[in-house]
Structure 1
C-alpha cells in the first residue's frame, strides 16, 4: 500500500505545533509495519541549510491557482528512513515561518493543488492521499472536481485528519473561482459554504473518503455545539466515515534513558534519578534547591484554549501550597505577563521562561513531579504523553485526548497514573492540585507507583500506526 502524507509542517524541517510531530512520527511508524508512506510539505525558507543542501531536484511543472499559473519544483530528501517531497515556490514560501500571512488562502490553495499535480509527475503513485488540517483539506475537493478523469488520480482515496477544528481556513466566497477554479455551485450548505464564507476544512470533511480526529473523545465532542465550531451538525451526520485515533509519541526521540538534553539519564528501573534532574533544574533556574518541594511543570502555548484563565484565577492559592511552578511557552500577553509578574515577586517559587526551547522543555519533563494541563479543549495533546514518558504525573482536565490518555488515581485500588478534574472551574482545578500535592507529601509509595504506572504506558505510535493501516485498508 502506498500513501502520500500531505502536511503544512513537519519536524525536523519546520514545526509550530503538534501537527509537525505527527507528520514525522506517524509515517515513520507506518513504514515499520510495511506501508510505503511518503511525506509532501512546502519548502520553507526557514528549513535548515543542512537539509536544503542535501535535497535533490527531481521535477518541475506549472500549477494553476485560479487564473494564475505558478511554478512548482519538487525536491526530494530521505530522512530517518522516510522519503520527503518538498514543494518549491519562492513566491509563496520564501518568507519567515509558516503561517499568519495575508495571502495564506492563496498560499495553501496553491499547495493543495500542487500536491495533486505532483502525483502526475512523480514515480510514486499513491493509493491513499492523507490530508491534515485545513491547509491541505481542500485537496479532496480539487481532486473530485479537477482530476476525476485523470488516470493518475481516478482510483486515489482520501483521508482527512482534523488536528484542531478551531482553525478551518475560512475565506471569502470569491476564493472559489479566484483561487480554486471552482464554480459558484460550491457555495452551498452541502459543499463548502460556511455562514457567508467558505471553509476549506468543511470541503475536506465532505469530499474525503474517511475523516479522523486525534482522539476518540474529541471525535464525540466535535459533534456538539460547544466544540464543533459550527460544523457539529455535519460531523454528527458522517459517523459512517468518522473516527478518532490517538496520537502517539516517538519513543526514539523522547526517551529519558538516552536523552542528551536532560541532566541525568534514567528509566523505569532508576526513577530515583529524577530527583537529580529536579535539583539541577532548580539550580539552573535559581529556584530554592530542595528535593522535597513539589515542582509543577507547564510546557504549553499560553492561551485561553490551554486553560490559563483558570490558573490566573487561583495562582496565589496554588503557590500557597508551597510548590514550585516552572513555566515554558509563549502566547497571549496577559498570560506571559502573569507568569513574569509572579516570577518577579516569588523568584524562589516561580520560573517564567517566555520562549520555546526544546532542551529546556525536556529538562522540565524530566525534573517536574507534576505536569499541569487544564485545557478548555484538547484534541489530543502531546504534553501529557511526554510527561508520562518522563515520569511526571499529569494533572489534566477531562477533555479530548487528555481524558483518553490519563487515568485518574484511585486511592482505594492504587490504579491510575494521573489526576483529573471534570468541570472547567478554577477551584475544581485547585482542589485536584491540592489533592495531588497531598498524595506526593503523605504517601510516597503511592506516588512512586503513579510514576511507575505512567512510565509503563505504551504511548508510542505503534498501536496508532496499526489503526491507521487498518483504516487505509478499509477504504
Structure 2
C-alpha cells in the first residue's frame, strides 16, 4: 500500500506540539509494517538549514489561486528512513513560526491544492491520503469535488485524523470559495457552511472516507455537546466511520537509558532517578533534597491544560512539602501569574516561560510526579513520556488521559497513576495530596512504578491498527 501523510508540521523539522511529535514518529512504525509511506509538509522558514541543505528539487509548477498563478516547488529528502516532500513557496511559508497569520486561510488552501497538484509529479500514486487536522482538511473535499473524474486520482481514498477538534480552520465563505473554486453547493449547511462562515475541519469530517481521532474516549466525547465544539452533530452522523486509535511515542528517542539530557542514566532505578533530581534542583535553584517530591508540568499555558485549576489552589499545593516546576509558554495571564508565584515561593517553585526540549526532558527525568489536570485532552503525550521516565502521572479522567492512566487502587495495589473525574480545583488538590502521601510510602510507590514498567507506550499497537484500517479501505471498499 502507498500511504501519503499530509500535515502542517513534523519533527525533526518543525513542531509546535503533539501533532508534530506524532507525524515525526508514527510513519517509521507504519513503514516497519510493510507500507510505503511518505510525508508531505510545507517548507517553513524555521526548518533548520541542515535539513534544507539536503533537499533536492523534485518539480516546479504553478497553481491557480483565485486570480493569481502561484509558484509551487516540491523538494524532497530522506530522513530516518522516511521519504519527505516539502511544498516550497516563500511568500506563504518563509516566515517565523507556523500559524497565527492573518492569511492562514489562504496559506493552507494553497498547501492543500499544492499537495493534490503535486501527485502526478511524485512517481508515487497514493492508495490513501492520510490528512491531519484542519490545515489539510480541504484535501478530501477538493479530491471528491474536482479530481474524482481524473484517472490518476479516481481510486485514492482519504483518512482524516482529528488531533484537536478545538482548532477547525474557520474562514469567511467568500474567501474560501474564491480560493478553492468550489461551487456554491459546497458552502451549504450540509457541507462547509458553519454559522455563515466556512469550516475546513467540517469539510474533512463530511468528505473523508474514514475519520480517526487519537483516543477511544475522545472519539466518544466529541459526539457530545460538551466536547463536540459545535460539530458533534456532523461527527455523530459519521460515527460508523469513526475510529479512536491511541497515540504512542518514539520509545527509542525518549529513553532515560540513552537520552543525552539525562545526567545519571536509569531505567527502573529510583535511586538514580533521584540523583538526577538533585542535580536538576541545583541547576534551577531549588533546595537540594532527593526526598522532597518534585511535581513537573510541561505544556502550553492555556486553559485547556487545566492551569486555572492549579492557579485556584496554588497556595494549598505549596503548603505541602513539595517542589513544583512548570515549563511552557501560552496565555499571558498564566505566564505572569505563575512567574510571579515562583518569585514569591522561590524555595518551592520554578516557572520557566519558554519551550525548551532539553529542559523538558530534564523535568521528566527529575520529577517524581507529572501533573496534567486538563479540561480536555484528545490523547496527551505528556503522560506517555512520564511513563518512560518513571514520573507518576496525576491526571483528570478525560480523553486519552482516561484511556492511558489507570488510577491507583489502595486495596488491590494496581494502578499506574492518580486520577480525578470532575473539573474541580479541590478534587485535583486532594488527588495531589494523595499522591504525595503515597510517595512517602516506599512499598506503595515501588508498586506503582512496577505497574508503569509494564505499560507499552510505543507505536507498535497503534501502527497495527492503522495498517488494518488502511487494508480495509484499499482492499475492501475498492
Normalising by structure 1, what TM-score?
A: 0.98
Q: In structure 2, what is the Cα distance between the partners aligned to 1:274 and 1:85?
A: 40
Q: State the 1:120 CA deviation.
A: 1.4
Tell me by how many angstroms 1:175 deviates: 2.4
| Cα distance in structure 2, aligned partners of 1:68 and 1:180 | 12
Structure 1 partner of 2:80? 80
Contact 1:67 1:181 in 2 (8 A): no
Q: Tell me, yes or no, if structure 1 residue 259 matches structure 2 residue 259.
A: yes
Task: Name segments (4+ residues, structure 1) moved above 3 Å.
Answer: none
- The structure 1 residue matched to 2:462, chosen from 461, 464, 471, is 464
Give the length in aligned residue pairs: 473
Query: Which residue of structure 2 aligns with residue 451 of structure 1?
Result: 449
Quick check: 51-60 or 338-347, which moved more?
338-347
Q: Is the 8 A contact 1:77 1:83 kept in 2?
A: yes
- Offset at residue 463 of structure 1 (A): 0.5
Equivalent position of 1:357 in the other structure: 356
Q: CA deviation at 1:308?
A: 0.6
Deviations 1:315-358 (A, max 9, x none): 00001111100110011111111211121111110011111110
Distance in 2 (alpha carbons) for counterparts of 1:53 and 1:176: 34
Q: What is the deviation of 1:99?
A: 0.5
Task: State the distance in 2 between where 1:366 and 1:452 align.
Answer: 17
Match of 2:23 in 1: 23
Match of 2:400 in 1: 401
Counterpart mapping for 1:48-447 below 5 A:
48-268=48-268, 270-441=269-440, 443-447=441-445
CA distance in 2 between partners of 1:112 and 1:58 (Å): 18
Q: How far does residue 44 in structure 1 lie from its aligned partner after superposition?
A: 0.6
Q: Is the 8 A contact 1:393 1:417 kept in 2?
A: yes
Q: Which moved more, 1:106-115 or 1:446-455?
A: 446-455
TM-aligned CA deviation for residue 183 of structure 1: 1.1
Q: CA deviation at 1:252?
A: 1.3
Distance 2:152 2:66 in 1: 21
Structure 1 contact 262–359 (Cα < 8 Å) conserved: no
Is the Cα–Cα contact under 8 Å of residues 391 and 452 in structure 1 kept in the other structure? no
Aligned-partner SS, 1:228: coil
Superposed CA deviations along residues 281-300 of structure 1, whole A, max 9, x for unmatched, are 11001101111111000001
Cross-structure match for 2:43: 43
Query: Unpaired segments of 5 or more residues in structure 2?
Result: 474-478
Give the Å deviation of 1:66: 3.0
Q: Distance in 2 between matches of 1:65 and 1:453?
A: 55
1:455 Cα offset (Å): 3.0
- Superposition deviation, residue 187 in structure 1: 1.6
With the length of structure 2 as denominator, give the TM-score of the two structures. Answer: 0.98
Structure 1 residue 229 displacement after superposition = 0.6
- CA apart distance, 1:178: 1.2
Distance in 1 (alpha carbons) for counterparts of 2:426 and 2:166: 27
For the Cα contact (< 8 Å) 1:42–1:86, is it kept in 2?
yes
2:327–2:354: 8 Å Cα contact kept in structure 1? yes
Q: SS state of the match for residue 426, structure 2?
A: helix
- Tell me the CA shift for residue 237 of structure 1: 1.3
CA distance in 1, matches of 2:65, 2:29: 34
Conservation of the 8 A alpha-carbon contact between 1:134 and 1:168: yes
- The alpha-carbon deviation at position 67 of structure 1 amounts to 3.1
Specify the SS of the correspondent of 2:313: helix
CA shift, 1:263, in A, is 1.4
Cα deviation for residue 452 of structure 1 reads 2.5
Retained in 2: the 8 A contact 1:18–1:382?
yes
Give CA deviations for 1:226-278 in whole Å, capped at 9, x if unaligned: 1101100111111111111001010111011100011111112x332101111
CA displacement, residues 111-149 of structure 1 (integer Å, 9 cap, x when unaligned): 001111111111011100000000001110010111111
TM-aligned CA deviation for residue 68 of structure 1: 2.4
CA contact (8 A) 2:105 2:176 kept: no
RMSD: 0.8
Cα distance in structure 2, aligned partners of 1:135 and 1:175: 16
1:60-93: per-residue Cα shift (whole Å, max 9, x none)?
A: 1112223322111111100000000000011111
| 2:476 corresponds to | none
Unpaired runs of at least 5, structure 1:
none
Larger displacement relative to structure 2 (340-349 or 371-380): 340-349
> Does the residue aligned with 1:226 lie in a helix, a strand or coil?
coil
* Post-superposition CA distance 1:431-461 (Å, at most 9, x none): 00010011111x2111012122213211111
State the distance in 1 between where 2:186 and 2:139 align.
Answer: 14
- C-alpha displacement of 1:176: 3.5
